[in-house]
Amino acid sequence: MNDFWIACGHHLLDRDEGGGLRVTDEFLKAYFARPELMPPEDACQVERRLHRELLSDPRQPVSAGEIAGIADPDARENWQFVLAFRDLLLRHPTLEAAYLATVRAGANDLPPLFVNQLVHVILRNALDGCDDPFVLRAAELFFRAQRILPHEQALLLGDEEIVGGISPTPVLSLMSMLGATTDAVVDVLNAENVAAYWQRSDQFDMAFDLTADGLGPTALAQVMRRWLSHLLGLDVTIEPLRALLDAKLTWYVGLDADATRLGDRLWHGEELDGPSADRVLALFRLTFVDSALALDDVEDEPVYLILSMSADQKLRMKPQNLLTGLPVKRLEMVT
C-alpha cells in the first residue's frame, strides 16, 4: 500500500478504538522542534529553558507568567500560539474531537496555520487506505489555498504556495507542445502521470483539473463524503452538478467565504451577474441516506454545496462549513 502526506506527522500519532487520532509525546515534540521555536543564539535564558524542558516533557504545564518572561516579542507570540494549540489537543480525547470543538465554538483565536495542519492530519486518517491520487489531490483543497491557472476551457488549480510566487501565469506542462517557455512548469495530474503523485504528495506541486464532467469534481465529492463520515458519522451521497437549473434552494452550504456570499444572494432570489456567476467553480447536490436526520424544513430536499473563487482568483476552502452548516437534527447524536 502506498503511503502519502508523511510530513503531516500521522505516523507519530496513536489511534483509539473508534479510529480517532490520539496525541502522543512524539507528535508534540515535533511541534516544539519546529524552526520557528528553536531559540536563536541571542535568545534569553527563559526561552532556552522552556524549549529544553518541553522537548523533554511536552505535556509540562506552562504558566502565562513564564511566557511573559520571554524577552523577544516574536518568540513570545510563537510560544503563546503553539502552547494554545498543544493545550487544545490535550483537552480532548482525539484530534478529531479537538477540531470539532473548535469549529463548533466558532473560535478564531487559533492561527490558520494550525487549523490547516489539523485538517491535514485528520484527512490523512480519514483517507487511510485510499489508492486514488485524484481523490488525494482533491483533498488538498481542504487545507491548502489554491490559485486558478488559466488554460483554454479547463478549470485548473495550482497550490498557491507553489505557483503564487513563481509567475503570474505559470505554464502547464501539458502546454509545452505549444512552444511556451517559462521557468515555472506545473504538471497537471492526469492518467499518464498519476503514479508520480505518491512520490510527490508532500510537495503539493501537481495541478488539479476541476473541470465539470471530469474526474476532479467526482474526486472532491468523494473526499467530502469521507470527511462527513469520519467526523460526524453521517452517510450521505454527493454528486457534482453543472448548474443549479430550476433548483429549489431550500438549503445550501458555501464551501468558502465567497461561495457563502453568492449563496446568500441566490437564496434571497437574486440573479447573479456574469462576473459573479463566473466565480462559481463547482456545484454539488448532497442528500442524506437517512432523511430522518435532516431538519423538518428540509426533509427529502437536497442540500446544495457551492465552491467558488475570490475576486483575485484564489480558492480558500472552509471544510468546517460542511460540519456546521448542514441541516442535521441533534448533531451531537451522530458524532
Q: Is residue 67 part of a domain?
A: yes
Shared domain for 234 and 313, answered yes or no, is yes
Question: Phi and psi of 151, rounded to 5°?
Answer: -160, 95
**pLDDT at position 270, please?**
87
Q: Is the pLDDT of residue 30 over 90?
A: yes
CA distance 146 to 170: 13
Q: Is residue 219 part of a domain?
A: no
Of 163, 183, 209, the residue at which a domain comes to its end is 209
Give Cβ neighbours of residue 209 (< 8 Å, ≥ 6 apart): 154, 155, 156, 157, 188, 189, 190, 215, 216
pTM of the model: 0.91
Which of 297, 311, 223, 302 minimizes the C-alpha distance to 262? 311
How confident is the model over 184-193, as a mean pLDDT?
86
Which range marks the domain in which residue 301 is found?
224-334
Of 71, 104, 126, the residue at which a domain comes to its end is 126
286 band by pLDDT with thresholds 50, 70 and 90: very high
**pLDDT at position 330, please?**
64
Which tens digit of pLDDT belongs to each residue from 122-167?
A: 999 999 999 999 999 999 999 999 999 877 788 999 999 988 765 4
CA distance 204 to 200: 7
How confident is the model over 5-32, as a mean pLDDT?
96
- Contact between 155 and 211 (Cβ < 8 Å): yes
- Residue type at 141? L
Of 182, 209, 236, the residue at which a domain comes to its end is 209
CA distance 266 to 309: 16
Q: Is residue 98 part of a domain?
A: yes
Shared domain for 141 and 121, answered yes or no, is no
Q: Is residue 218 part of a domain?
A: no
Q: Is residue 217 part of a domain?
A: no
Q: Is residue 214 part of a domain?
A: no
Shared domain for 234 and 329, answered yes or no, is yes
Report how many domains make up the chain.
3
Which tens digit of pLDDT belongs to each residue from 55-84?
A: 999 999 999 999 999 999 999 999 999 999
Positive or negative, the CA dihedral 151, 257, 115, 222 is: negative
